[in-house]
Structure 1
């Protein structure tokens, strides 16, 4: 084989630890970012929270409109999971060392643009942000999260009721076990035999004794509030609630007759009730047509999930990253103006520990140069973390501002005025890659005059109109919801009728598309919306 030399031109892009961290922080939600900050504060001694107000860094919002360099756009493109990478060869030099925890010292080089002169005063970032507090200074300072943590769980509520029962040690233990075996909806998913088998899988006699104690405890559990708790299925849950209503001594004869029919309906297959098959229920001898209709209406007022109100509401709390406020305008004829700002409560105020940084700066060139280099790397890591946090919020603010400008009609008139919008439009306007816009708009929320929405909510495809324009799919969903809310209860609108009504509005929307949007809105079909 003949040896020779050849030249080849190719492009190579190395994802530095700084860039990897910046991309990762950008896609984190507010809760995940808070956990990341806490972890970084524990790992890096040069990083601390600050309560003092200081100047923003030079790489902040003031430079947000600086044109993006070709190298940065290539870096975003390389980090994107999109398969179309173009004709050029782009190689990511991400090794196992690069994927190590960012708080570690091994395998990460924080040199480069983040020199020690990057932030001479090592000031903190976050001018308007409040310092962290535990929100326990008074009731007026408690936020929604703290209030959610004080909510009593279903198990605690049941255990408190069980204390008022005079039970033996074995029955009390069995009742406690059943209470702890309930799911979030208040149902007992496992059978009593399976529960007994998990406690003593070998001895059958002891299993039978455990099942007996569980049966007694289950009867006691069914007598506790909320009514229906401990049911093994929806049918039993509804039956327990109907029986509890029948125990009311002040109930008149007509209502009692309706509840008797309701109890018989709940004892039939649930498919008949779900389909509201009145004809079949009458054929089964449940009751007359009128009574069956009244009974189904009574069942609809019951609670199918007794533990629903005890579910921890903290999981449903959304803290907005961006606030949109309408600017007061004296000229009523002028177009409304809106102010877009970051939520100061979610912006961590971080700074480099001045004492540690000064000590390290004054002991350069000591005997232990290896230790000094390692500490210098941790200091640089802290500075880059502050920079990447700031860059994350600056990018969120830029994207949010662009969204508000594009969807100004929504902030004035509501979701019916939403315009079609795709990621590429915002990416082209800001000079960023679509993958970056996708990361920014995922799990980030905006508080608006009409409620709090995820940033992705403002993006939607367009449907053709008679005028040749496009109507946002979000606006079409809102229009469908409006049509259904105004329909007659006795003659609900079918999907085909809604499609025709949209065509009258100049929007081309097929029946199947209407059905898809209706299901996405969790609205039942016309047959189930019809009043009995």
Structure 2
């Protein structure tokens, strides 16, 4: 049996403008600038830079967006229904012409030039030119260099290299020949240790390039014959094996610790792209008061194209309106609306970033005044969301990838957020504070007898932080601190 009924329900649907705003908010400064350039390239009705007096756009046309909230580009709009006057400018000064963005032309950040350096692999190839090699040897050496990874290792077996050369390069040789070229040519290249097949061989190659001394000779024996005992820091076994004093063993270990486990990474001409962090905010201390500024690159000067406004005016003034003109004015309207929405979204983004960071700054005022990380208060996203009246997801987007320049260095905003734990006095303390205390305790321990996690938990308990051993282990791992056995020193 079929029947119809009417049902009312409330549902939340984000408008295209809200979605656009959320996407803009989560972008850091550099990504925002790239997104801005993309929008300006895609929308010819959007322009940047200063306007001449006769090109100023009416302020109300930016601020009053009610009529565009439900606009859908897919709707077919009769050109005769478009109010052309809404898209024409007058001589009033818009608000973006009078705003202060704390970013003068003198402070303009210029593009950082990258040096056109020789790559790591090209440098190895250049070094091969210093060897007298036959054509076959040159081909094999070039192939071996091309098989070395960015860390400087040859992570393939000789048999695989021989097969690969035969199938891909038509170079037919044997394992003995390849191994000879690897050991007598590739292993002689700089930096020392390049072309090693594992860590043990890498350290041995570097030690054998050193000037022979008693400590270096002992280090070579340890790596060559007792590598497993060395990595597990079984120092007593090494003392008995080589019948040396603790001082002699310590000097040999010092020689090993000076070596580079990733020789390729130390190459000065490495052309890997370096990520340059541009702070989105800056906090300064002026007369014992905190002052917050938003990076001016987040507040660009944008305006609607005068040419597009003139097209609208031309259409309005024309007496005979053709179908082509009607189609054109609909296209122009869409571009003008899109430009207005984008400008409005940027203004809302700027305001959201500032008020959120301002709330974080005041919440963590004690830290920002003296830089002591133990004074960071427990702070979660909801705390800031309640202060500024925004949704938690919005605060999360602001904090996730934004940086702030402080008197104590450039910090990632999400580093200021932490859960709360209760100390022995019933006070809530930040987990950041506990990690800092844990790091301090480990730095002060006797490295000859490092403290295991259960003893670290006892020490923290004595200092007023009753946490379990497994929690200590979790915090230690988050701090990239190894277990007690691996922290041992002779």
- TM-score clears 0.5: yes
**Cα RMSD for the two superposed structures:** 3.9
Shift, 1:303, TM fit: 0.9
Secondary structure at 2:113 match in 1: helix
What pairs up with 1:260-271 in 2 under 5 angstroms? Answer: 260-268=217-225, 270-271=227-228
Measured after TM superposition, the shift of residue 23 of structure 1 is 1.4
Q: Deviations over 1:126-163 (max 9, x none)?
A: 85376999x9xxxxx766x435x556542344344344
- Within the candidate set 343, 360, 363, 2:295 is matched to 343
Q: What is the distance in 2 between the residues matched to 1:436 and 1:43? A: 27
Deviation of 1:277 after TM superposition, in Å, equals 1.5
TM-score by length of 1: 0.75
Answer yes or no: is the 8 Å Cα contact 1:174–1:217 preserved in 2. Answer: no
Aligned pair partner of 1:189 in 149, 155, 174: 155
1:496 is paired with a residue whose SS is: helix
Q: Could you report, residue by residue, the CA deviation over 1:279-300 in whole angstroms, capped at 9, with x for unpaired residues?
A: 44456x4564644443223211
Q: Could you list the per-position Cα deviations for residues 203-239 of structure 1 after superposition, in whole angstroms to 9, with x for gaps in the alignment? A: 9x84426983575256423222211122111111101
- In 2, the alpha carbon distance for the partners of 1:156 and 1:341 equals 45
- Deviations 1:306-363 (CA, angstroms, capped at 9, x unpaired): 1223455744432211111111x2xxxxxx3111111224554443333344334433
Contact 2:89 2:309 in 1 (8 A): no
The reply on whether 1:229 has 2:194 as its aligned counterpart is yes
1:326 alignment partner, SS class = strand
The residue aligned with 1:460 is 418
CA distance in 2, matches of 1:517, 1:297: 29
How many positions carry a matched residue from both structures? 463
**Contact 1:131-1:349 within 8 A present in 2 as well:** no
Q: CA deviation at 1:526?
A: 2.7
Following superposition, the deviation at residue 174 of structure 1 comes to 4.0
Evaluate the alpha carbon distance shift between residue 441 and residue 476 of structure 1 in structure 2; reply closer, same or farther with a 3 A threshold.
same
Cα distance, 1:358–1:118 mapped onto 2, change above 3 Å = closer
Give the corresponding residue for 2:11: 12
**Structure 2: runs of 5 or more not aligned:** 64-68
Counterpart position of 1:87 = none
SS for the counterpart of 2:353 is helix
Say which is worse superposed, 480-489 or 359-368, in terms of deviation. Answer: 359-368
Of 271, 276, 282 in structure 2, the residue corresponding to residue 323 of structure 1 is 282
1:48 equivalent in structure 2: 47
SS at match of 1:267: helix
1:441 aligns with 2:441: no
1:489 counterpart SS class: coil
Please, which runs of 5 or more residues in structure 1 have no aligned partner? 63-74, 76-92, 99-104, 136-140, 330-335
Q: Which residue of 2 aligns with 1:373?
A: 330
CA–CA separation in structure 2 for the residues paired with 1:313 and 1:345: 26
Return closer, same or farther for 1:168/1:56 CA change in 2, 3 Å cut-off: farther
In 2: Cα distance, 1:405 partner to 1:273 partner: 50
1:141-199 deviation digits (Å, cap 9, x = unpaired)? 766x435x556542344344344444445444444443343323222223344344344
Matches within 5 A, 1:269-348: 270-281=227-238, 285=241, 288=244, 290=246, 291-310=248-267, 314-327=273-286, 329=287, 336-345=288-297, 347-348=299-300
> For 2:445, which of 487, 491, 514 is the aligned residue?
487
Q: 1:373 to 1:397 in 2, by over 3 A?
A: same
> Which whole-Å deviations, capped at 9, do the CAs of 1:441-470 have from their partners, x for residues lacking one?
111111111111111111101111122111
Equivalent-residue separation in structure 2 for 1:12 and 1:472 (angstroms): 38
CA-to-aligned-CA distance 1:393-450 (integer Å, 9 cap, x gap): 3211111110000001111232111100011111111111111111111111111111
Aligned to 1:82: none
Q: Residue 201 of structure 1 aligns to a residue in which SS?
A: helix
Q: Distance in 1 between matches of 2:363 and 2:440?
A: 24
Is the Cα–Cα contact under 8 Å of residues 420 and 461 in structure 1 kept in the other structure?
yes
Q: 1: distance between equivalents of 2:449 and 2:416? A: 33
In the other structure, the counterpart of 2:376 is 418
1:211/1:117 Cα in 2 relative to 1: closer, same or farther (>3 Å)? farther
Q: Is the 8 A contact 2:152 2:262 kept in 1?
A: yes
Name the CA shift for 1:343/1:108 in 2 (closer, same or farther; >3 Å).
Answer: farther
Q: Give the alignment's TM-score, normalised by structure 2.
A: 0.81
Tell whether the 8 Å contact from 1:53 to 1:127 is kept in structure 2 after alignment. Answer: no
